[in-house]
Structure 1
Amino acid sequence: MWVSAIRSVSGKNLRSKFLSIRRKSTFAAAQLSSSFSDSSSDELTISTPNSIGSDIEDHLHQFDTNRVIEFLKRLKSEPKQAISFFYDVKKRGFRHNVETYVSIIRILCSWGSSRLLQDLLLEVIKSNEEELGFDISDLLEVLLENLEVEVTSSLVTVIDAFVKAYVSLGMFDESIDVLFQTRRRGLMPCIYTCNYLINRLIEQRKLDMAEAIYQQLKRMGLNPDVFSYNLMIKAFCKKGHLEEAVNVFKEMEDAGVNPNEFSYGTLIEGLCSLQKSGVAYEVLKAWRCSAVPFDNIAYDMVVQGFCNENKLSEAETVLLDIENQGLTPGAYFFGALIHAYCKKGNIRKALFFQNEMLLKGVKMNCVIVSSILQCLCSMGYFTEVLSQFKAYKDARVFLDEICYNIAVNALCKSGRVEEALELLEEMRHINMVPDLIHYTTLINGYCLEGKVFDACNAFEEMKAKGIEPDITACNILVGGFARNGCAKEALRFLDYMKDQGLTPDVVTQNKIIKGLCIGGKVREAEMFLNSLEEKHPDNFSAMIHGYCEAGRTREAFGLFSHLYKQRIFLNKKTCMKLLTSLCMDGEVESAFVLVEKFLGSEDDPCIIMHSKLMAALCNSGNLEKARWVFDKWIKRGLIPDAIMYTIMINGYCKSNCMLKAIELLNDMKGRGTTPDVITFTVLLDGCFKTSLKKTHPRRKISLGKEVAKIESRIRSEMSEMQLKPDVVCYTVLIDKSCKLNEIEDAMKLFHEMMDYGLQPDTVTYTALLSGCCRVHDVDRAVTLVDAMTSQGLQPDQVTMSVLEHGILKIKKVQISH
């Protein structure tokens, strides 16, 4: 019944509005017709709306300014019809002047028709003086004189419309000049108009101009409102002037203007953008304690700020704060944390917060999913990518094109291109159209598998579907040709790119150089490099990478040395690649020369390079040179990190120099570098092995006590630092117990690590098997092998050798008895 009643009322209202519109149209037509009739006649001719145009054409020659103004006066109560008439007569040849514009503007002002007025002024501003027949300044002057006398509110409306019209065209100087016209006539500008202008200036990054207007308004005695203050906080934050932003906030409070949620939000957002998220968090807490309504989005801004600054422990503190307030963080909050940990490559933490998010009932979204999948993919965990992708799909989480592309990429890099094709087909079934990125990923997959023909087919299919290949897709295909030994095809494809309007760039050239080297065509790569008219330093970097990939490290080092002498310096990535290859190939002296001679004078030395060199020198037994590199780092005023210290300590441990290792540990703590679990593991292993080598068989009992004392001290330090042993550390401790024939202690450690959720690896099982065999416990050894295989770990050659040797030894003992 209530539905029919609403329909009845709606129908009556509609009919009454329709009749009203018809009456107004008839009245307007009557007025138009009478204005064209003989002035001496008292007869009123009524014209229908359809006849208005013909009447204008019939009497257009009689129109003059006075008649137009007179008619506009008669339509002053109908602004829409007035503006329609204004445009209509202009369209039919009448040329408006200042007087007619003033007349229509008065009508629009009186009715507050700001939108119509702004559109009218936009048209005026866009026209040149020749088209108008007058200058805009003349129109503005007349308007100011007339409206100032009549109604001040109309003057404000005109100024506001002029300012907005100029601003919309990007004519900020003109808009500022118009704004201050009111001041020249003794009137204050409207604060709302000022705010509009300042806001648009800030949006266009004209921050100095915005600040100048704000200061000028204050000098004129105009009191800013809360929106004005908020805008200036925003402007100062964008300029990076933190102190000025805070001062505006204080100024607002001193002026008796109460900050609102936008004031706090703007300041917090600005502080976070200036890498001052800690200060922003303090502002948030002050806001929370104030009477101003609190917006939970402030937490999102602060946690995003901490994540951008890589202060993830502080971000987690905000999470605890939210929970203490009885609130539940949203998807954006968790997404920021998850993305930050993914960016660091800490997938364990990212998945932890994903689980926390789901436990709190917060729904996953495709943005968070893509962060996790991309992190797994970049770490090479392709199986995990596909497992997670399936889990999200089964949980009915919406997966967008980006998520699908990551899964396709994982399949391609796993050598499962056929399954990648099936996934692309699945996309089509759910109305997702594979785009350029998906096809590029597929082409890359084919190239990695060496299926260049299939890559070309995918390339052609993409073009057939109307998707134009870009430079990235072409670079991948030309690189595929090169890395699969198709040198001629790669060069021909360069010509094809040029024909398609795509200019091969340095990346294209480098793809060919590196690809040819990987494909065993080093000579062709050299010839291609030499054929380039203009050689970029990155081209030489590609050649060095290619030499390294082809196992020709000496040629790589020779080219690097030659370039260095010619003052051509290559990037750190290339230096790192070369250093790694030199160290792996045993070219330690060349690696030493690379760091000492070529990279030693850098203002910003790379700690990773120095660490790699130290590790190579230690492995080659050259501790003296390794220590020289270490000490030189300190002489530069730089503090070695935990990795650098651990490498040097490990070198001393392997060389039975335990006193030097312990001294270095003390030096490490003295310089404020915190040892990690790897450092202590190295020391534990070193202490035990050193004692074992120096101990006579008759001192077996004292050995156990000595090692136990050192172990106890190190484990005590680890406990004080709240460092828990990892798999490697437990394996060292288990191996020690096994070698001391303390198999029960070893098993206790084994079960302890399992209780802590640590999964033993093949090395751990091998150490335990060795211990069991030493004490002739074959049954336990067989049980361990079964447990190992049940957990998906296959015994390797070393494990099987240990087991066979142990069983054989036991049999010999049994025979002898």
Structure 2
Amino acid sequence: MLNKWTRSLRFPIKPPILTSLSSLIFSKLSVSSASNLAAAATTPIAQISTDPVHAILSGFRDLGFRQFVSGHYFKDLVLMLNQAQMDDVIQSLSVENADFVVDFYHLLRNEFGFQHSRGSRFVVSHVLARKRRFKDLRLVLNQMLQEEGTGSAPLLCKLLFSSFKSWDSSNVVWDMLAFIYSRFGMVHDALFVLVKMKEQNLRPSIQTYNSLLYNLRHTDIIWDVYNDIKDSGAPQSARTSSIIVDGLCGQSRFQDAFFFLRQNDGKEFAPSVVSFNTIISRSCKLGLADVAKSFFCMMLKYGILPDTYSYNILIHGLIVAGSMEEALELTNDMEKQGLQPDMVTYKIIAKGFHLLSLMSGAREIIQKMLTDEKVKPDLVTCTILICGHCQMGNIEEALRLRRDLLSSGVQLNVILYSVLLSSLCKRGLVDEALQLLYEMEANSLQPDLVTYSILIHGLCKQGKVQQAIQLYKEMCFNRILPNSFAHSSILKGLCEKGMLSEARMYFDSLITSNLKPDVILYNIMIDGYVKHGDIEEAVRLYKKLRDKAITPSVVTFNSLIYGFCKNRKVVEARRLLDTIKLHGLEPSAVTYTTLMNAYCEEGNINKLHELLLEMNLKGIEPTLVTYTVVIKGLCKQRKLEESVWLLEDMHAKGLAPDQITYNTIIQCFCKAKDMRKAFELLDDMLIHNLEPTPATYNVLIDGLCRYGDVKDADCVLVSLQERNINLTKVAYTTMIKAHCVRGDVQRAVKVFHQMVEKGFEVSIKDYSAVINRLCKRCLTNEAKYYLCIMLSDGVTPDQEIFEMMLNAFHRDGHVHSVFELFAVMIKVGLLHD
């Protein structure tokens, strides 16, 4: 059967190096005593006329191995040996003293760097095989095959057959040779060795067959090897059937795997838990949880009891398939069968809760582990669960889990605390994060660089720069060298708080220290100057950066371009775009978008389109902000249809427009008095699951009041109130002004009261705007009414309000009202008697 595997194989045949080893006839030295040999050790090498092979063999006989090889005489003799003589020594020693030959072989290789011939290697291999030193045998053949490489089997087999056929333990050497070829993945060589063994009636071991099966498990040749195992009568193992089952499952041939198990039922190598575990594991890895379940049930029908590993792999497969409930049921079944869930089980379930974002059920698992005397939660499981809670935003549950673990005596590590600190800082709970830091230190845990960096960054984001600096000093005191992340956090925090002079002092101290110059620090400082309007200082810092031979990044140029655009120096900003290219850098979408926005503000739409075209040619994908800027430019040109097309193009490219993009177009349609289209865009937002902002409704209400019908605006306001949509004060003041302009004071007063009921603070400015509109509409009585409301609410009118009303009363000839107003002014202290 094996012969047909090799019919199509072609091996490069190398010329044999070693001919048959001749027998060595030992002759006695004329000086054989130990004393004479000791004396010879001092004799110069030029005076030694003895045959070195003869001398070495005699030395081993008379002095023993250790004493002889430790002398200079031995070393001199070894250096005189050629390859053939070395082979003679090893051949002779294999007959005289098997222990000496192995030690001599390794000594020459390891101490003298001698490259042994194939013949010598096989001599030593047979000696080791005879002494059943299989580990050393494997080492010798390993080294040999690593040097010989693939395709060497024909030459080695020829040498073995011609020179070692009658040696004891030859079968073991042949078998080990085939085994190692297989382990090295040289399958064709292994098959060739097996063919030659079969020709000599030598039987390979089941370990060799299994190794070969494993390499061929994904091919049809596996059946030829398996049939040869049966024909040879080699005792099969559970590993044999397991490999075949694994190979079939790897080819998704689960039905064949099942038939194979059935065919072997009742035999010596009948289906075992290992075989079924193999099928279940492979099914789960392929995502076939249902197939895995069916084999699990089949195992029970065969009367084979699943082990903990069986349950664990199926539980894991079910979780990956999203069937968390079934996985938990299987865990309960496991306990009913008398199998205790182990750490792996709990770890799998914990990972499942994390994977499926079902962290609410994790508490029960932890409680089970805490009450189980045999299984205590390890740090990996704890980290998985705490990370899961933190990623789900449930920091409270993560902290509660931490308390449970600490109370149960589980010692947390720095990594777990860092995860908690990061989550707290992201939610702005920096004070709580600092408390955890103190808890770490109380538990004898030394915060590391990551811990400090997280807290420093969190404090800076909250504007608590002084506290961040204190923590920075503590970190340095503890001999933890801060990294660029900590430095940049503090520097950014100072810039964002507007403390530019302090930021510059800190920046200069970093640059003048031994710290490696970092473009990120320069970028933060340049950006700080730009955002606070000091473009000149930003440019000076940029020049310093170049003087220090630090390569600027695209971020550097983006900040400068933004600064120039902010100062309406678009020409200088445009020049920087070319400078970016001179530095071998590629402008980013932010670069182009910043410039495009500046051109849009100037009304230079042609330049905007030029930049957009350049972006497309360079293959730079426009961002959401880029689209919004272009849409704003189109709207300014009253190209509303084009702006809507661009909106549709965004959806087509999978780039979801945000509320700002929609609000920009909606406002333009309102100004164009096309309220129908404006509300269609509102519907489009809702269709795409985009929640309109209060600003969206403000724009629509204002559009209806200005360009549509105020009654429609009233209807929209009532509808939004009924749906409990959050509105801002702007929506109410817009409606009040609109009703005042149209003389509907009653409705204006009603909306005014609604605004007050919603809890919005009504300022003098709000009252002034309403009274001004009423006075202009000659509705002086209504203006007096609002003045009364103002006074009753405890808001004191200012001089401007009184002047507006006095002018209106004089104009309309309401003299009595003028005197009433004087009286009020005297009362509030704005006029004396």
Superposed CA offset, 1:101-141 (max 9, x none):
12222344456656544543453344369xx9x95653366
Go from structure 1 to structure 2 and tell me whether the alpha carbon gap of 1:362 and 1:340 turns closer, same or farther (over 3 Å shift): same
Indicate if the aligned counterparts of 2:242 and 2:275 stay in contact, CA closer than 8 A. Answer: yes
Map 1:149-160 to 2 at 5 A.
Answer: 150=169, 157-160=176-179
Counterpart position of 2:449: 401
Counterpart position of 1:544: 593
2:652 corresponds to 1:625: no
Most deviating of 102-111 and 390-399: 390-399
Most deviating of 615-624 and 55-64: 615-624
Q: Write the distance in 1 (CA, Å) between the matches of 2:172 and 2:297.
A: 33
Go from structure 1 to structure 2 and tell me whether the alpha carbon gap of 1:320 and 1:660 turns closer, same or farther (over 3 Å shift): farther
The Cα shift of 1:469 comes to 5.9
TM-score normalised by structure 1 residue count? 0.59
The Cα shift of 1:605 comes to 4.5
User: Could you say what secondary structure the match of 1:45 adopts?
Assistant: helix
Map 1:498-517 to 2 at 5 A.
Answer: 506=554, 509-510=557-558, 512-514=560-562
TM-score normalised by structure 2 residue count? 0.58
Unaligned runs of 5+ in 1: 1-25, 167-171, 202-208, 666-676, 708-731, 740-762, 768-799
Q: Write the distance in 2 (CA, Å) between the matches of 1:388 and 1:807.
A: 52
User: Could you say what secondary structure the match of 2:90 adopts?
Assistant: helix
The Cα shift of 1:357 comes to 5.6
2:345 corresponds to 1:298: yes
Query: Could you tell me which of 421, 430, 439 is aligned with 1:373?
Result: 421
Query: Could you tell me which of 502, 506, 516 is aligned with 1:454?
Result: 506
The Cα shift of 1:342 comes to 3.9
Q: Write the distance in 2 (CA, Å) between the matches of 1:552 and 1:44.
A: 101
Go from structure 1 to structure 2 and tell me whether the alpha carbon gap of 1:594 and 1:441 turns closer, same or farther (over 3 Å shift): farther
Counterpart position of 1:87: 106
Superposed CA offset, 1:261-299 (max 9, x none):
445445555666677767766665665555555224334
The Cα shift of 1:401 comes to 1.5
Counterpart position of 1:613: 662
Superposed CA offset, 1:178-226 (max 9, x none):
378548756567459957996xx9xxxxxxx874499669955731176
- Equivalent AA in structure 2 for residue 105 of structure 1: S
Q: Write the distance in 2 (CA, Å) between the matches of 1:685 and 1:253.
A: 70
Query: Could you tell me which of 475, 483, 490 is aligned with 2:542?
Result: 490
Counterpart position of 2:121: 101
2:147 corresponds to 1:127: yes
Indicate if the aligned counterparts of 2:277 and 2:310 stay in contact, CA closer than 8 A. Answer: yes
The Cα shift of 1:423 comes to 2.5
- Equivalent AA in structure 2 for residue 178 of structure 1: A
Structure of higher CA gyration radius: 2
The Cα shift of 1:247 comes to 7.9
Q: Write the distance in 2 (CA, Å) between the matches of 1:218 and 1:650.
A: 80
- Equivalent AA in structure 2 for residue 542 of structure 1: T
Indicate if the aligned counterparts of 2:153 and 2:189 stay in contact, CA closer than 8 A. Answer: no
Counterpart position of 1:67: 89
Go from structure 1 to structure 2 and tell me whether the alpha carbon gap of 1:160 and 1:299 turns closer, same or farther (over 3 Å shift): same
Q: Write the distance in 1 (CA, Å) between the matches of 2:640 and 2:421.
A: 39
Query: Could you tell me which of 778, 789, 805 is aligned with 2:795?
Result: 805
Most deviating of 363-372 and 476-485: 476-485
Q: Write the distance in 1 (CA, Å) between the matches of 2:57 and 2:140.
A: 35
Indicate if the aligned counterparts of 1:183 and 1:189 stay in contact, CA closer than 8 A. Answer: no
- Equivalent AA in structure 1 for residue 681 of structure 2: V
- Equivalent AA in structure 1 for residue 689 of structure 2: D
User: Could you say what secondary structure the match of 2:341 adopts?
Assistant: coil
Q: Write the distance in 2 (CA, Å) between the matches of 1:43 and 1:332.
A: 58
How many positions carry a matched residue from both structures?
650
Go from structure 1 to structure 2 and tell me whether the alpha carbon gap of 1:516 and 1:149 turns closer, same or farther (over 3 Å shift): farther
Counterpart position of 1:729: none
- Equivalent AA in structure 1 for residue 117 of structure 2: N
Go from structure 1 to structure 2 and tell me whether the alpha carbon gap of 1:38 and 1:560 turns closer, same or farther (over 3 Å shift): closer
Map 1:219-258 to 2 at 5 A.
Answer: 222-224=240-242
Q: Write the distance in 2 (CA, Å) between the matches of 1:429 and 1:274.
A: 51
Indicate if the aligned counterparts of 1:482 and 1:512 stay in contact, CA closer than 8 A. Answer: yes
Q: Write the distance in 2 (CA, Å) between the matches of 1:560 and 1:257.
A: 75
The Cα shift of 1:45 comes to 1.7
Most deviating of 95-104 and 188-197: 188-197
- Equivalent AA in structure 1 for residue 122 of structure 2: V
User: Could you say what secondary structure the match of 1:531 adopts?
Assistant: helix
Go from structure 1 to structure 2 and tell me whether the alpha carbon gap of 1:576 and 1:82 turns closer, same or farther (over 3 Å shift): farther
Q: Write the distance in 2 (CA, Å) between the matches of 1:269 and 1:604.
A: 37
Indicate if the aligned counterparts of 1:236 and 1:244 stay in contact, CA closer than 8 A. Answer: yes
Indicate if the aligned counterparts of 2:359 and 2:389 stay in contact, CA closer than 8 A. Answer: no
The Cα shift of 1:96 comes to 2.5
- Equivalent AA in structure 1 for residue 108 of structure 2: V
- Equivalent AA in structure 1 for residue 155 of structure 2: D
- Equivalent AA in structure 1 for residue 69 of structure 2: I
Q: Write the distance in 2 (CA, Å) between the matches of 1:801 and 1:404.
A: 55
Go from structure 1 to structure 2 and tell me whether the alpha carbon gap of 1:649 and 1:575 turns closer, same or farther (over 3 Å shift): closer
The Cα shift of 1:405 comes to 0.6
Unaligned runs of 5+ in 2: 1-33, 42-50, 230-239, 244-272, 705-710, 763-789, 799-822, 829-833
Q: Write the distance in 2 (CA, Å) between the matches of 1:302 and 1:214.
A: 40
Counterpart position of 2:387: 339
Counterpart position of 2:473: 425
Go from structure 1 to structure 2 and tell me whether the alpha carbon gap of 1:156 and 1:438 turns closer, same or farther (over 3 Å shift): farther
Go from structure 1 to structure 2 and tell me whether the alpha carbon gap of 1:627 and 1:478 turns closer, same or farther (over 3 Å shift): same
Q: Write the distance in 1 (CA, Å) between the matches of 2:208 and 2:683.
A: 66
Go from structure 1 to structure 2 and tell me whether the alpha carbon gap of 1:736 and 1:274 turns closer, same or farther (over 3 Å shift): same
The Cα shift of 1:305 comes to 4.0
Superposed CA offset, 1:49-107 (max 9, x none):
2431445345545744243133245554x5xx654421323455865222321222234
2:364 corresponds to 1:316: no
Q: Write the distance in 1 (CA, Å) between the matches of 2:554 and 2:608.
A: 19
Query: Could you tell me which of 140, 155, 162 is aligned with 1:138?
Result: 155
Counterpart position of 2:773: none
Go from structure 1 to structure 2 and tell me whether the alpha carbon gap of 1:96 and 1:377 turns closer, same or farther (over 3 Å shift): same
Q: Which structure ranks higher in relative contact order (CA pairs < 8 Å, sequence separation ≥ 6)?
A: 2
The Cα shift of 1:430 comes to 3.1
Map 1:672-751 to 2 at 5 A.
Answer: 680=724, 682=726, 739=757
User: Could you say what secondary structure the match of 1:120 adopts?
Assistant: helix
Q: Write the distance in 2 (CA, Å) between the matches of 1:257 and 1:214.
A: 30
Counterpart position of 1:56: 74
Go from structure 1 to structure 2 and tell me whether the alpha carbon gap of 1:154 and 1:181 turns closer, same or farther (over 3 Å shift): closer
The Cα shift of 1:407 comes to 1.5
Q: Write the distance in 2 (CA, Å) between the matches of 1:436 and 1:301.
A: 37
Q: Write the distance in 2 (CA, Å) between the matches of 1:801 and 1:228.
A: 90
User: Could you say what secondary structure the match of 2:691 adopts?
Assistant: helix
Indicate if the aligned counterparts of 1:545 and 1:574 stay in contact, CA closer than 8 A. Answer: no
Go from structure 1 to structure 2 and tell me whether the alpha carbon gap of 1:473 and 1:607 turns closer, same or farther (over 3 Å shift): same
Superposed CA offset, 1:283-338 (max 9, x none):
65665555555224334334434434xx42x3323434654786686654454354
The Cα shift of 1:528 comes to 1.0
Superposed CA offset, 1:712-765 (max 9, x none):
xxxxxxxxxxxxxxxxxxxx9xx97984xxxxxxxxxxxxxxxxxxxxxxx969
